[in-house]
Amino acid sequence: MATPQELSDFLAQVERRAFKQAVYAVRDEHGALDIVQDSMMKLSEKYADKPAAEFPMLFQRILQNTIKDYWRRQKVRTLWTTLFSSFGKAEDDDDNDPLEILAGDPDNDDDQPEAELQRRQTLAIIEDAISRLPARQREAFILRYWEDMDVAETAISMGCSEGSVKTHCSRAVHTLAAILEKHGFSKR
């Protein structure tokens, strides 16, 4: 059974990565923030009495289910918005991608502007490539390589077989390699 401090430490540890994962999935920072907060609340309310070792897999499952719920709600909203928009003047939506480029260390003045620009451009290309992956491939890739889960944990978290996880990861890596190669990154 986990202590309240262990739960708090776990949530602090996964907050940033969970937010990035949710932003990739829904492409809306405000929606992603709501998803992460809802997921954290669900873990705290329903699973605080579980051992701390179970938190990573439980949280990933809750996060993925909350993302799926978000898309279901969006589908209904889109239907009603589309129906009602036919009665009024269509307005342009803001199509800007809300993904922010990871900022460098603001306290480090040693970076040259060219290096900072290069880093930001590279991160933007990588984030864009990841966001273009199909949902299941993106989920498998993030869980395996960012969350550092093994194949079995990823399969449990995604609710699929280990073979499916391997297939999704393999396809994601090949797709990302092709996209990055088009941008001038070479295989090493």
Domain of 62, CATH number, reads 1.10.1740
Query: Residue 162 burial (CB < 10 Å; 0-12/13-18/19+)?
Result: middle
Same domain, 20 and 71: yes
Split into its structural domains, the chain has a count of 2
Residues in the chain: 188
Hunting for tokens 């990154």 — which residue is that? Answer: 185
Based on the fold, state whether residues 76 and 13 are members of the same structural domain: yes
pTM of the predicted protein model = 0.53
Nearest Cα to Cα of residue 120 among 103, 139, 144, 132: 103
Residue pLDDT, tens place only, 101-110:
334 444 554 5
Helix axis angle for 151-158 and 162-182, nearest 10°, is 100
Q: Tell me: do 9 and 80 sit in the same domain.
A: yes
pLDDT of residue 102: 39
What local confidence, expressed as pLDDT, does residue 73 receive? 77
Low-confidence ranges of the chain (pLDDT < 70): 76-111, 186-188
Give the CA distances from residue 50 to residues 12, 14, 30, 149, 155, in Å, rounded to whole numbers and listed in that order.
Answer: 17, 17, 29, 19, 20
In a domain, 107, yes or no: no
Residue 129 within any structural domain of the chain: yes
**Helix boundaries (H) for the chain:** 4-26, 29-47, 55-85, 113-131, 135-141, 151-158, 162-182
Q: Which domain holds residue 26?
A: 4-85
Instruction: Examine residue 164 and state whether it is found in any structural domain, yes or no.
Output: yes
pLDDT at residue 90, as a whole number = 42
